[in-house]
Chains A and B, each alone.
Chain A
């Protein structure tokens, strides 16, 4: 019996030793799960958080610092936030944003919110990049955006006083690399959750809509009038986008191939991601090329301005007549409804500002 006891004691000791492989000096970042709005949780699938990049307090803080720091650009003049301004729901009021050399981009800057619910993880207007982490690699090295190299960025960050320690705290390594930079930025971007619009509060029973706003919602949901819901979500899908790519009848001749360039499939030519209709009050101009300065112009496009082309979405109806031919009242009410999807608390959230 004594021998048995010794054997059992040895086994327990080995088990204990095998479990204590943590370096006591190593910093462990603090988990910081996303605060998922209850009605998101009730209605749609959980957000996408890669196992390789869990949300942490230190990672999010580092990502925020990087997002607002011009150190990521070639001449230290431009941060992510210069084109993705918080007051514009992290978009730009310019049709095309200028890069550090004053050269304009080719697409309108996309707003940033609720990105963790992009289930297919295809980012950019043309879906050319998979995952938020990979998306963040692109603007830094784009010659007409931040026009830098990752070697330069990493070198500058490494030589900066604070960053090595911040990376150590976030990722357990003070030797910085580009993967850690993009992971941190992605963590911050995932915290950009917009869920406090007037319409959100209406759905929660906390406010009422005007008759015009209610009629606008009906126009939105009515297949014989706006029929917006097939691509832009509904009261059951608070993202207000399907995150899928469509040709919405902007041009008869396609010059920007959009998704078609990314996939190489001509059937995808002229298709761009449906943008969320949240925060439209802050995100003008509209469309992938920022061609419409106002919401009136957008509604006019779907009502009377559709252009036929081989890849136009079948849901674009009455194309021969230019669109769904909304009445003047329905157009005005639709706009009123769309504006109820704007979230003033989001753009004023101090957690999202520098």
Chain B
């Protein structure tokens, strides 16, 4: 252990008899942006739940391994203590409190913060600087914001706790490309202001541009890891996550297609 930043060591997680993560290890050094890529069901959200200790809401439990922040174990803490330790998560699907106003959503984000009134005011100023639209719509119900604005609110809400480590679960999901780009820029800005970031994404192209280091998670195991630019250049990642098909792979696919009879509509 030791070292600053988030360290996950040999983490295994199960939902009842189902093993969701198998001895996963990864590190997010202080000040870095690290991304975890993987398809649906690879265990990306499970990983974040395990770090934030919310697995119990889904009937899951950590069966082995450790999670530590700056060398301090956080995998034995209650969820609120994890937040107090400096880890905030922006959950998948934004999950803003849709019946509450934008202002109250931001207040809710500060509930787990350890600082005082002045810190909260400073955090709110920072959020309003990043997203002026949240100040304009302060009294509007969050459920009535557009998808992009809701994502901004979700980011702002997480920042209200002034986290040192921010976990993002598929922030680009369901957003128009332009809005996804906007969120990516914000992530970069938040990182530049000193917050370390663990980004979980299916949009590999976007994630690899942001991150300095990347891990590929498949069926609960880390299958690839390395500097983001190296991974972005590797054939396997290009084929599987960036949608780039090189000639060999295209030929492979053709051969595979030829080997199987083509199914036609049943006319009987």
Chains A and B belong together in one complex: no
Interface residues of A (CB under 8 A from B): none
| B-to-A contact residues, CB < 8 Å | none
